[in-house]
Amino acid sequence: MSKQDFAVDEIARKIELGNRRALSRAITLVESSHPTHRKQAAELLQALRTDREAIRIGMSGTPGVGKSTFIESFGLQLVESGLRVAVLAVDPSSAISGGSILGDKTRMDHLSRHSNAFIRPSPSQTHLGGVARRTREATALCEAAGFDVVLIETVGVGQSETMVAEMADLFVLLLAPAGGDELQGVKRGIMEMADLILVNKADGDLKAAATRTCADYAGALRLLRKRGQDPEDFPKALMVSAIEGNGLHQSWIEMQALVAWRKKNEVWQKIRADQNAFWFNTELRHALLTRLENDPEAAAASSAMQTAIRAGEVAPSVAAERVVQSFLRIKKT
Amino acid sequence: MSKQDFAVDEIARKIELGNRRALSRAITLVESSHPTHRKQAAELLQALRTDREAIRIGMSGTPGVGKSTFIESFGLQLVESGLRVAVLAVDPSSAISGGSILGDKTRMDHLSRHSNAFIRPSPSQTHLGGVARRTREATALCEAAGFDVVLIETVGVGQSETMVAEMADLFVLLLAPAGGDELQGVKRGIMEMADLILVNKADGDLKAAATRTCADYAGALRLLRKRGQDPEDFPKALMVSAIEGNGLHQSWIEMQALVAWRKKNEVWQKIRADQNAFWFNTELRHALLTRLENDPEAAAASSAMQTAIRAGEVAPSVAAERVVQSFLRIKKT
């Protein structure tokens, strides 16, 4: 998308009318870190209507729990009931491997071909900060495009769950049945983010194990309940079978109940406002540090200070203060 | 220390002559976050000689492993052999509780009264970033004061070990004997930082368990060896008994061997240079963000943007860019 053919209002209207090609191109635009593209992306985001709100569902689960199968079955159930569903993937590990969780679209064969569904693989070769902004902005594009549900998928790697939880309305953790009564080594921090734990593979030989695992997690979740903030019975653990389809409808009913409760109790908008404030602070720090890094004179001062530090001539804190003074003085002239 | 009575050169010379009262007051100065004190601290650090180098030993161990007893015994052994030893404590948890690891000096009764030792409790009520700078600068003061060894003690809380490892020449992990063959749940990241693991309490009833634990860790450490960077037999696991004094002398011999090897192979200076570069980058980011936070006009712009974001009128990344532009434009006039 070059500068001359970027008609921001036209693209915005196309997205709002549900034009998939316009949406795809806009997501490619917000994925770019090129300054011109960043500027265009900002203009586009400002030009879009903001009165449309999807239910943004963050979904995490380690490889092997059947996440793709679950999203395929769950997503199909939603689109067949007439809802429009977008699926976005966040995978910082793909930034390293250059791969993509959803790159293999055949894994969601039926869903990806449905006219009410939109599946977007994660971009490769971006750092975590870039992934966060791209996913947040792609979600905003999907909301403006009128999707009812945006599923944001992540694998349990590093800090990606925290990031996704900060941009989702609901956070769902997908687990597999565990042997014995062990809690699968799920990090406590991730359990604390979950609104709903779904124990998948509750079918065939694994059904008994799934029942036990679900009960274990239900018990653990009771200890994590925050009184007043959510309905009394949340967070909740349920059994599902993505393959047989059991529990999928119930999962959606639970999600809707939580959404309705939060909207009624003004928790919904508060969470969104807090998330926006969080991302504003994150972006603010990032934007300022990027300016410093890209400032040629600050870079020269920084490089001179690095040499002085290595020679033991100046303390790191003193050197840092000098570079900042030089950076801000440069801006004065 | 008010502005008029701050005679930087006089204080620097006193510290270099080993005046303990001057050193104590200087550490209090670097602990302060008051702008005048920060400026004075920077002047003082610049005025001090930098040709004196201590062996900076980072030491971590969870409560109950006998860290205080170890430091008392190990420190006494060093001071009695004529070395001068400073002990600094890093304890981010004390920032929360307001307490201090070394606050109870009776725990190191003999060492604290020895003329060759200097023990400084951790300051309370400072955030982790502040603790890092204070400890780094206090270490530099101790080096200028001619101490041969600076022991930097931390408890296994949060990121404090990583911070201490980034300001120490050697990192020592103190452990207690474990039952069975389990590895006590030591975080892998911390094992990877250790140059020396000391299994304490290798005395009385626990001696057999200590032997087993030491062998387990020795095996684990073999897997973590980085070829070429260190002598072939490092990192190493040893048994010690802080109470009976066994293994303390051997620990010191091992530390000296590692120091000698690193100095001979130019690894020593490289590690110090890398650490200084790391802290410079950390301080640089911190200094710039502090300027932004303290800028009244940026604060006003930021506050207006927060309102616009909550109202859904502007995307977080767009708002952030505007505040940064406003902050840098303000500096232009």
Contact assignment for B46 to A314 by CB distance below 8 Å: yes
- A–B interface: beta-carbon pairs under 8 A: 128
Query: Worst-scoring range by mean pLDDT, A88-97, A253-262, B38-47, B139-148?
Result: A88-97
Distance from the first to the final alpha carbon of chain B: 35
Average pLDDT over residues B288-309: 89
Contact residues, chain A, for B273 at CB < 8 Å? 309-310
Which of B272, B274, B281, B288 to substitute to test the interface with A, most A CBs within 10 Å?
Answer: B288
Query: Looking at CA atoms only, how far is residue B316 from chain A in angstroms?
Result: 4
Yes or no, beta carbons of B318 and A273 under 8 Å apart: no
CA separation for the pair B83, B76 (Å, rounded): 10
Inter-chain residue contact A288 with B286, CB threshold 8 Å:
no
Mean pLDDT on B315-331: 83
CA distance A194 to chain B (A): 23
Digit-coded pLDDT (tens) for A157-189: 567 888 899 999 999 999 989 764 455 556 667
Whole-angstrom Cα distance, residue A226 to residue B315? 30
User: Which one of B136, B317, B330, B332 makes the best mutation probe of the A interface by having the most chain A beta carbons within 10 Å?
Assistant: B317
A283 touching B (Cβ < 8 Å): yes
Q: Does residue B69 register a pLDDT over 70? A: yes
A95 touches chain B (CB under 8 A): no
Query: A91 phi and psi, to 5 degrees?
Result: -145, 90
- pLDDT number for residue A158: 61
Q: Note the pLDDT tens digit of each residue in A305-316.
A: 988 888 778 888
Residue ranges covered by each domain of chain B:
1-48, 50-265, 278-332
Share of chain A above pLDDT 90, in %: 53
pLDDT at A105 over 90: no
CB contact under 8 A, A317 and B42: yes
Q: Is the pLDDT at B94 greater than 50, yes or no? A: no
Residue A12, chain B, CB below 8 Å: the answer is: no
Residues B111-129: tens digit of each pLDDT: 988 999 999 877 655 555 6
Give A-chain residues touching B286 at CB under 8 angstroms.
320
Which residue from A minimizes the CA distance to B129?
A317
CATH of A50-265, one of 3.40.50.10800, 3.40.50.300, 3.75.10.10, 3.10.20.600: 3.40.50.300
Which of A136, A291, A306 minimises the CB distance to B324?
A291
Q: Estimate the share of chain A in helix, then strand, then coil, as percent rounded to the nearest 5.
A: 60, 10, 30
The residue ranges of DSSP E strands in A36-187, in sequence order, are 55-60, 85-90, 117-120, 149-154, 170-175
Which residue in chain A is spatially nearest to B328 when comparing CA positions? A331
Instruction: Find out if CATH 3.30.310 is the number for domain B278-332.
Output: no
| Residue A132, pLDDT score | 83
| Chain B residues lying within 8 Å of A313, measured CB to CB | 50
Mean of pLDDT values over A99-124: 72
CATH 1.20.5.170 at A1-48, yes or no: yes
- Using alpha carbons, list the distances in angstroms from residue A146 to A8, A27, A80, B90: 18, 15, 16, 53
| DSSP SS3 for A80 | helix
Strand stretches in B91-240, DSSP E: 117-120, 149-154, 170-175, 196-199, 236-239
Q: Is B313 on the interface with A (CB under 8 A)?
A: yes
Closest-CA distance of chain B to residue A320, Å? 4
Strand (E) or helix (H) holding B33: none
In the predicted model, is pLDDT for residue B241 greater than 90?
yes
Residue A327: partners with Cβ closer than 8 Å, 6 or more residues away? A292, A295, A297, A298, A301, B288
- The reply to whether B131 touches chain A by the CB within 8 Å rule is no
Residues in chain A with CB shorter than 8 Å from the CB of B316 are 136, 276, 279-280, 282-283
Q: Is A261 on the interface with B (CB under 8 A)?
A: no
**Nearest by CB: A133 against B312, B317, B324:** B317
Using the Cβ of B322 and the Cβ atoms of chain A, whether some distance falls under 8 Å is answered with no
Pick the closest to residue A133 from A178, A98, A163, A102 (CA basis): A163
Q: Is the pLDDT of residue A246 over 60?
A: yes
- Chain A residues whose CB is inside 8 A of the B288 CB are 288-289, 292, 324, 327
Nearest alpha carbon to residue B257 among B238, B231, B226, B222: B231
Which of B133, B320, B332 has its CB closest to that of A287?
B320
Asked whether the beta carbons of B43 and A318 are under 8 A apart, the reply is no
Task: Evaluate the CA torsion angle A130, A131, A133, A137 in order and state its sign.
Answer: positive
Tens-place pLDDT, residues A267-309: 999 999 999 999 999 999 988 998 898 888 888 999 999 888 8
